[in-house]
Structure 1
Amino acid sequence: MDLGSMFEFAVGRHPFGVALVEGGHSYTFLALNQEVNRVASSLRKLGIGRRDRVMVLLKNRRQTVCLFWAIQKLGAIFTPVNYHMSIQDIQHCVYDVEPKVIVFEAVAEAAVRKLRLEETPIFISLEPDDGDISYDELVHSGEDTFDAVPVDDDEIAIMLYTSGTSGVPKGVPRSHKNEYASTLAHIIQNHYDPFDSTLGIMPLYHTMGVHSLLAMTFLNAKFVVAQDVRDESVPEILCREKITCLYMIPTMYRDLLANHRIENYDLSHLQKIAYAGAPMPEALVSDCFRALHPQRFVNHYGSTEIHTLTTCAYLHRKPGSAGKPGINQWIRLMSLDPDATVNDGVKRGEVGQVIAHLGSAEAFKGYWNRPEVTRQVIQDDWYLTGDLGVFDDEGDLFVVGRVDEMVISGLERVSPAKVEEVLSGHPDVLEVAVVGEQDEHLGQIVVAYVVPRCEQLSPLELDRYCKQSGRLSTFERPRKHVFVEHLPRSATGKVMRRALLSTREK
């Protein structure tokens, strides 16, 4: 089942139901569909068709949602990119995906203007006179009706970019079948119902944001766009729009509960909450139960490559548990022995690498233009997640770390090797090792252990150097710089990152 058809089914069922709310203004499914058709017909006039990539550098807003559905109706590929990324990484994504169109807004204008392009795409801006054509011009020159292009289930609907061990963003193609199956699983696992509502606070360049939108659309539910949301306004939106479902990362729940005004708002409609993206501290789990009184509270453990790995809906009994495999999934733990294969497991209670079977309808088939990386993570129809996990006596999974020691800060993944490469370029840095230090707010923060060449080197100077390099995004820059005399190494000369953290903890 293709996504464009799913949207049209929703429009046909309840054309006058509220589909989207932005800034207090409501749009029915019928009104949204009219704008979607106008954008789709205009894009087709510009030559955009089946399998073409449309890169989107936008915040969560009505235009982003309309572009998403217009692109699905065209049979093209929605390719959202994190506009917070460094210019170098955005440049890589452009070279990698070769978009026919780049849609951007003011927040991404500086990056777009610095792109080096071999073939120039069509630039569409939200601002008038800032691109080849504006979004409003697309709407005004389009038509109210549009016949969606027929597509196969296995054709790519969405391309999401995720960071990897190399530090270079990897394109993850997601087929219509992948997204259809993932969304149905998401609805079932979270106990969503028709006419529910959610706060669209997770970015639409991330799998969590995409599935929030899809789930609400499939159910003729309300998607409340949240862009530039101030912490103090979130309770107001939840109350005003009678939000029933939340799907956020742990730090967002922490910020919500820390709001001193939350008790002034009626949040009794909020019944179902879920989190993903990072572990949630047990204390925060307890605080969510106490303050929000959810009827259902789910830890959703997944990835961009496979939307659902496991879920846990009994956090009151097992806070911190990732639970059991999703309804489409089969997972195992693989031995950490260097010569291990997917057939080599571990005993219950022992740590192993989480691997997931690719027979799942939610699973991708490999990275875009990256066969060498695909071979590293796919072995005999199993996807090697890189996560470390352990099963307890009841068969519930607990995720305990990363095989490659990738730092997961907030919603973003940071490659230690990439940060080390930048810092190593400073003339006063002899050696450097980057690790993730536990942080209650972000899950982990980036910490650089530096062996300096001179005593005058300071953390301020290193942070300035990282900023000026232009190679690191804001979330990739170290939050701390720790100066050490030497880096601990193994007998083979490899830096022992865990030893750095254990020494600091002492």
Structure 2
Amino acid sequence: MTTPETLHDLAPAGDRGNATRTMGAPLRRALATARERTAVVCGEQTVTYGELAERIARLGGLLTRLGLAPGDRVGVLGANCHRYLELYLGLPSHGLVIVPLNVRHTAAERTYALRDAGARVLFADRALDGLDPDLRVVDTSTEYEALLADAEPVAPLREPREHDLAGIFYTGGTTGAAKGVMLTHGNLVANAFHFMACWPFTADTRWLVVAPMFHAAGTIAALSTVWAGGTQVMCPAFTPDGVLDLVERHGVTATLVVPTMMDALAHEQAARPRTVSSLRWLSHGSSPAAVELLRRTHTAFPDAEMLHIYGLTETSPIVTLLPGEQHLLDAPQARSCGRAAVGVEVIVVDPADRTPLPPGTVGEVLIRGANVTAGYWNKPEETAAALRDGWFASGDLGLLDDGGHLFLVDRAKDMIVSGGENVYSAEVENALFAHPSVVEVAVFGVPHERFGESVHAVVVLRSRPEDADAFAEELVAHCRRTIAGYKVPRSIETRVEPLPKSGAGKILKRELRAVFWTERESQLT
């Protein structure tokens, strides 16, 4: 059903789609309306739209020289920069499929994604260990510029269409838990339209790219900004003082951050104020934000309109938006994710039979729209389970109020969002299970003031350790050898008694979580 040979065009038979709803369309409009305007600012370097188009044309020549053809998958790993943006735009525009890699992943996690996607070439800005010997690596910090300058500018070998695959975005880690989310040109263009329908993107937009571009949050406004002929200012690594300096220096008008970044920015602005009146639109997402954090942020940036965005990699990513959030801090809606974006439909259903539920009733969140993924790469069973009758099953549990505001109360997939990073409990559980002393394990998120959630593990051991704290530290060290640091549990509870289970033998994580989350769930429901 979903094999690499059949996935270049994901349209129904006889429907190739519209070529104007592709990744190349925004740049073509920018060339017609803003050729001499600055497209990207990266450190001391500026690139106009005309120059960006020339570089992407030369990228086409380089791709041909590397022996790549439309439909081939290409890995990209690196910090935010103008080269990452041109690869993000250019690879799909030439008919290839971008595979962004998390810079924090281990060698095993990177290798899994590259092998699973069948990538033949990797663009990376650093030396990497553990790569397959037949993988061609282009170092974007050294040889890339010379290769690009030597390449002949070429047009796309085959003009992509909206149903063509544009990217594979891996949501998990090392083994079966990792899924490659397939996003088409049409998915990503739809997301841009949905964002532009909510917030103003113009030629005067100066969007600060803070979130890493391997995340959907990092490229959430890339196409919208290009379409409007605005400017993207690159932040290669987050520091609160560095971000505020960029806002002041470049007159940044809009950005998106995760709550941990927002907290750090509010503290930095309060301690050492900058001139940030240009910042008119401040959005946040990826994990819950406490109302008190929103208050502090509004105090620090009183001229900024605040926007909460709930999204998923599978939805390109925008699902719901809560604009004007600073005006709702004393209202119940402040704890919501907002309403469905223009162009997106959201319903809450009974998880058992998918019948729609009335307002105020908790159920599974389903999503429909042109932004919804085409499925999971090489995973037909997971695709069939997630996509049914035109709806995507998010795996999140929530409720809708009478006004259409969505309140999330749990994650049915047991995904943990810590500091803006997605952590799948199954990956951490697999790592812990590899320790010979572990009999049972349950991993879940617990509230964390700074990170939104932190990874917590309850581990059943074969025998009671003499020093429980020391053994917990041993388990942490064990995890660090196999999974990325942000996935490693920040707290571990050891016990010898069995974990609570359902009649079917499934571990009841809700009971384990209750002591940590009861207060928050009561607020939301």
Give the 3 Å change call, closer, same or farther, for CA 294–361 of structure 1 in structure 2.
farther
Cα distance in 1 between the residues matched to 2:344 and 2:53: 34
| Partner residue, 2:334 | 319
What does 1:134-145 align with in structure 2 at a 5 Å threshold?
Answer: 134-143=143-152
Cα deviation, residue 87, structure 1: 2.1
Q: Deviations over 1:386-426 (max 9, x none)?
A: 11111223331111111122212122222222212221222
Select the residue among 326, 330, 348 that pairs with 2:345.
330
8 Å CA contact 1:407, 1:436 repeated in 2 = yes
| Partner residue, 2:411 | 402
Select the residue among 97, 119, 126 that pairs with 2:117.
97
Cα deviation, residue 138, structure 1: 1.6
| Partner residue, 2:489 | 478
Cα deviation, residue 177, structure 1: 1.4
8 Å CA contact 1:173, 1:367 repeated in 2 = yes
Cα deviation, residue 489, structure 1: 2.6
Cα distance in 2 between the residues matched to 1:66 and 1:491: 53
| Partner residue, 2:505 | 493
Cα distance in 2 between the residues matched to 1:99 and 1:492: 41
Matched, 1:188 2:197: yes
Cα deviation, residue 166, structure 1: 7.8
- Aligned Cα root-mean-square deviation (Å): 2.2
Q: Deviations over 1:281-300 (max 9, x none)?
A: 11112222222124532211
Q: Deviations over 1:250-303 (max 9, x none)?
A: 211111112166653111011111112112111112222222124532211121
SS in 2 for 1:447: strand
Cα distance in 1 between the residues matched to 2:307 and 2:392: 24
Matched, 1:121 2:129: no
Matched, 1:388 2:397: yes
Give the 3 Å change call, closer, same or farther, for CA 335–437 of structure 1 in structure 2.
same
Q: Deviations over 1:95-143 (max 9, x none)?
A: 211112111122xx23xx31346xx232211354xxxxx2122222123
Cα distance in 1 between the residues matched to 2:164 and 2:280: 36
Cα distance in 2 between the residues matched to 1:292 and 1:356: 33
What does 1:89-488 align with in structure 2 at a 5 Å threshold?
Answer: 89-106=109-126, 109-110=127-128, 113-116=129-132, 120-128=134-142, 134-143=143-152, 146=155, 149-163=158-172, 168-259=177-268, 263-306=272-315, 307-315=317-325, 316-317=327-328, 318-336=333-351, 340-342=352-354, 344-357=355-368, 360-452=369-461, 453=463, 454-457=465-468, 458-468=471-481, 470=482, 472-486=483-497, 487-488=499-500
8 Å CA contact 1:167, 1:414 repeated in 2 = no
8 Å CA contact 2:60, 2:153 repeated in 1 = no
Amino acid at match of 2:114: V
Cα deviation, residue 361, structure 1: 1.4
Give the 3 Å change call, closer, same or farther, for CA 294–192 of structure 1 in structure 2.
farther
8 Å CA contact 2:35, 2:49 repeated in 1 = yes
Q: Deviations over 1:4-32 (max 9, x none)?
A: 23213212321111111111332211222
| Partner residue, 1:73 | 93
8 Å CA contact 1:354, 1:388 repeated in 2 = yes
Matched, 1:28 2:40: no
Amino acid at match of 1:93: A
8 Å CA contact 2:177, 2:426 repeated in 1 = no
Unaligned runs of 5+ in 2: 1-19, 519-525
Cα distance in 2 between the residues matched to 1:382 and 1:126: 39
8 Å CA contact 2:338, 2:405 repeated in 1 = yes
Cα deviation, residue 167, structure 1: 5.9
8 Å CA contact 2:441, 2:458 repeated in 1 = yes
Cα deviation, residue 211, structure 1: 2.3
8 Å CA contact 1:190, 1:274 repeated in 2 = no
Cα distance in 1 between the residues matched to 2:417 and 2:304: 29
Cα deviation, residue 220, structure 1: 0.9
8 Å CA contact 1:249, 1:275 repeated in 2 = yes
Cα distance in 2 between the residues matched to 1:295 and 1:332: 30
Cα distance in 1 between the residues matched to 2:449 and 2:381: 36
Amino acid at match of 1:461: E
Amino acid at match of 1:450: V
Q: Deviations over 1:139-163 (max 9, x none)?
A: 2212356467412111112221113
Unaligned runs of 5+ in 1: 129-133
SS in 2 for 1:446: strand
Cα distance in 1 between the residues matched to 2:55 and 2:404: 48
- TM-score using structure 2 length: 0.88
Amino acid at match of 2:116: D
Give the 3 Å change call, closer, same or farther, for CA 491–164 of structure 1 in structure 2.
farther
Give the 3 Å change call, closer, same or farther, for CA 322–428 of structure 1 in structure 2.
same
Cα distance in 2 between the residues matched to 1:202 and 1:243: 15
Cα deviation, residue 354, structure 1: 0.4
| Partner residue, 2:522 | none
Amino acid at match of 2:119: P
Quick check: 136-145 or 403-412, which moved more? Answer: 136-145
8 Å CA contact 1:22, 1:225 repeated in 2 = yes
Aligned positions, number = 487
8 Å CA contact 1:165, 1:406 repeated in 2 = no
Cα deviation, residue 447, structure 1: 0.6
| Partner residue, 1:131 | none
